[in-house]
Structure 1
Amino acid sequence: MDRRPRRLAGRRGVVVVTERSVFWGRLRAQRAALVAAGVVGLLVVVALAAPLLTALEGQDPTTYHPDLIDSARGGVPVGPLGGISGEHWLGVEPQTGRDLFARLVYGARVSLGVALAATVVQVIVGVAVGTAAGFGNRWVDQVLSRATDVIVALPLMVFALALMAVVPSGFPRPVLVALVIGLVAWGGLAKIVRAQTITLKELDHVAAARLSGWGAVRIARRELLPALAAPVITYAALLAPVNITVEAALSFLGVGVKPPTASWGQMLTSADVWYQAAPQYLLYPAGVLFVTVLALTVLGDGVRTALDPRATSRLRIGTGRKREARA
């Protein structure tokens, strides 16, 4: 595959066109993807700036405020809208009185961090296994392919629950959640990489590299991995929203992140009995989780469309098809 920059003559002279510039041109032509990227970027900034934001509010995610709880009513926050005030921007948590804004922004750190770390683990393991299976001999392919089939067939939630139940409680829970998700859910990516590798190794430039005496590692690094970048990035962009949902589900089931560490899934676990007395305690984490998953999904679809010129967006709103065609 020729990856050298192309020179095109235009009214402004000779323009150098690279694959990177073409990709960014296609991505910019999709308004929905740009909005989603802005939302994801804002969430990342909020997660990184959590200590600064809570310092501005003057609160932290773990301090109890029993004076803001009406014990006579079962622990409902005192005041309108769950105790919203100048000191507590989104109110306080029922029964404990912990600040909801502080727990939400610190929960973004855990939820987004776990999803990103799990995606990185999935990409590393999936690419390594898929490339080795596709480029190796028949026996290597058979062994790795059967192992991948076993991983794909495993029920993710059940296996994750079993693993996390036997790990000592002293192990950092966010790290454990990321490792469990990443090490259990890499099979789909490995199958995609294997299929692409089998196709790529038959191309002339790969065959020439083998005939010239290059080793398997050098061929994979110089010839295969660059060509696999597009499908891997596309699949990874679509894995992130799935991983953040799985983290929330594990925390909701009580085997994920443990209190007092804040995560959106763990907040939903505590909020399931307060949806009538204090609905804001349920709506805030559910709302940010919905927005995050939607933004990551739209961004992943935009990346997939920009990387594959033959693909069309599955999301018809705001895709900028005319500008995309010009790009």
Structure 2
Amino acid sequence: MSDALLVQEAGAAPAVAPASGARLFWRRLRAQRAASAAALVVLLLVLVALAAPLLTALAGQDPNIYHPDLVDSAAGGVPIGPFGGISADHWLGVEPQTGRDLFARIVYGARVSLGVALVATVLQITLGLVIGLTAALGSRWVDQLLSRITDINVALPIMVIALALLAIVPETFPRPVLIALVIGGINWAGTSKIVRAQALTLKSLDFVSAARLSGRGKWSIARRELLPSLAAPVITYAALAFPTNIIVEAALSFLGVGIKPPTPSWGQMLTEADTWYQAAPTYLLLPAGLLFVTVLALTVLGEGVRTALDPRAASRLSVGTKRTRGGTKQTRVGTKQSKEDAA
């Protein structure tokens, strides 16, 4: 009796095609409970940011409308009512002195903070990828020049440079766009170093040598051979850089050179809340808590992405049960075959 018939008779499942790279990645990511929970939190925050106009319309509030009747002017502008003026009309209370609705400013602030960090991360990764590939594929003097520029960028005090650039640019320039350009334009060095190191390693492998011998140009090799292999480390670095850029944007707003009023931002709200932590603690706790949760969720998700993209992680995830069951069926088939051979 043939092996195929023995397997079919024993009730073994038919062979299943191996999962593709994307499916394997999502399977590994879902196997990590912390990363899955973090992904749900990030997805919720993104949906809140995208639906900010709809949510504020549903609440019947505007982030820039003043409500002086909701603050006690005799007490210095403290919100009237418990917990910062929370009521059926103002779900998270109101802002001290101005009486602006906190819920509306929080959801619009999520849009600004996440949007600035996203644009900065995309710019940072793009610049680092281009400069790193150019250094790895260029001539020796190009590599040395770009490597020295990268080293200088790493050594420079990024926060001081950002403060100086944001202080001299006219206020008429759109502030969120400017902050994203500044953060992304001066934080590319880490990506460049990773890309250059990985590209130099890949250049010595056989498939790149074969592409070079076939007469293909450097940038054709970079696009078709190197970029797919660089996807995993670049995506991992981007996932970990995104929460860092949120912190940088909040820090710049806290220092007074970031998002300017009346545009809401979590960092800018923290700047105004530092004098109200005793009289109106919710005004400080809400943006601070949201920043903490957002950065924590993005960091955990970034670590999960790194693990899911790591080829060595496959053996550490929960796939051992299926292999054990398959091995048991194979043993039974082998036993049956031995008995028939003996007969």
- Could you tell me which runs of 5 or more consecutive residues in structure 2 were left unpaired when the two chains were aligned: 1-11, 323-343
Farther-moved stretch of structure 1 (293-302 vs 200-209): 200-209
CA contact (8 A) 2:56 2:62 kept: yes
Which of the numbers 212, 218, 221 marks the counterpart of 2:220? 218
Q: Deviations over 1:132-170 (max 9, x none)?
A: 111111111001101111111111110100111111110
Q: How does 1:1-327 map to 2 (within 5 A)?
A: 11-310=13-312, 322-323=317-318
Instruction: Indicate how the Cα distance of structure 1 residues 250 and 206 shifts in structure 2: closer, same or farther if over 3 A, else same.
Output: same
Residue type of the partner of 1:29?
A
| Mapped partners of 1:11, 1:84: distance in 2 | 60
Q: Deviations over 1:15-63 (max 9, x none)?
A: 2322222111111110000000000000000000000100011001000
Instruction: Indicate how the Cα distance of structure 1 residues 23 and 93 shifts in structure 2: closer, same or farther if over 3 A, else same.
Output: same
- Paired position in structure 1 for 2:339: none
CA contact (8 A) 1:127 1:193 kept: yes
Farther-moved stretch of structure 1 (302-311 vs 266-275): 302-311
Helix, strand or coil: the match of 1:59?
A: coil
Count of aligned pairs: 311
Note the aligned Cα RMSD (angstroms).
1.6
Q: Which runs of 4+ in 1 moved over 4 A?
A: 324-327
Instruction: Indicate how the Cα distance of structure 1 residues 254 and 193 shifts in structure 2: closer, same or farther if over 3 A, else same.
Output: same
Instruction: Indicate how the Cα distance of structure 1 residues 322 and 191 shifts in structure 2: closer, same or farther if over 3 A, else same.
Output: closer
Residue type of the partner of 1:323?
S
Residue type of the partner of 1:53?
L
Shift of 1:215: 1.1
- Paired position in structure 1 for 2:328: none
Instruction: Indicate how the Cα distance of structure 1 residues 326 and 253 shifts in structure 2: closer, same or farther if over 3 A, else same.
Output: farther
Helix, strand or coil: the match of 1:219?
A: helix
- Could you tell me which runs of 5 or more consecutive residues in structure 1 were left unpaired when the two chains were aligned: 1-9, 313-320
Helix, strand or coil: the match of 1:52?
A: helix
- Paired position in structure 2 for 1:318: none
| Mapped partners of 2:319, 2:295: distance in 1 | 25
Instruction: Indicate how the Cα distance of structure 1 residues 228 and 326 shifts in structure 2: closer, same or farther if over 3 A, else same.
Output: farther
Residue type of the partner of 2:154?
V
CA contact (8 A) 1:126 1:190 kept: yes
Farther-moved stretch of structure 1 (168-177 vs 13-22): 13-22
Shift of 1:109: 0.3
Q: Deviations over 1:100-135 (max 9, x none)?
A: 000000000000000110000011000000111111
CA contact (8 A) 1:77 1:93 kept: yes
CA contact (8 A) 2:35 2:301 kept: yes
| Mapped partners of 2:82, 2:57: distance in 1 | 23
Residue type of the partner of 1:169?
E
TM-score by length of 2: 0.88
Q: Which one has the bigger helix percentage?
A: 2
| Mapped partners of 2:110, 2:273: distance in 1 | 17
Instruction: Indicate how the Cα distance of structure 1 residues 52 and 11 shifts in structure 2: closer, same or farther if over 3 A, else same.
Output: same
| Mapped partners of 1:13, 1:224: distance in 2 | 33
Residue type of the partner of 2:318?
R
- Paired position in structure 2 for 1:6: none
CA contact (8 A) 1:264 1:286 kept: yes
Shift of 1:326: 6.4
Residue type of the partner of 1:23?
F
Instruction: Indicate how the Cα distance of structure 1 residues 242 and 13 shifts in structure 2: closer, same or farther if over 3 A, else same.
Output: same
Identity %: 72
Instruction: Indicate how the Cα distance of structure 1 residues 165 and 325 shifts in structure 2: closer, same or farther if over 3 A, else same.
Output: farther
Q: Which has the larger radius of gyration?
A: 2
CA contact (8 A) 1:122 1:185 kept: yes
Shift of 1:80: 1.1
Helix, strand or coil: the match of 2:103?
A: helix
CA contact (8 A) 2:28 2:317 kept: no
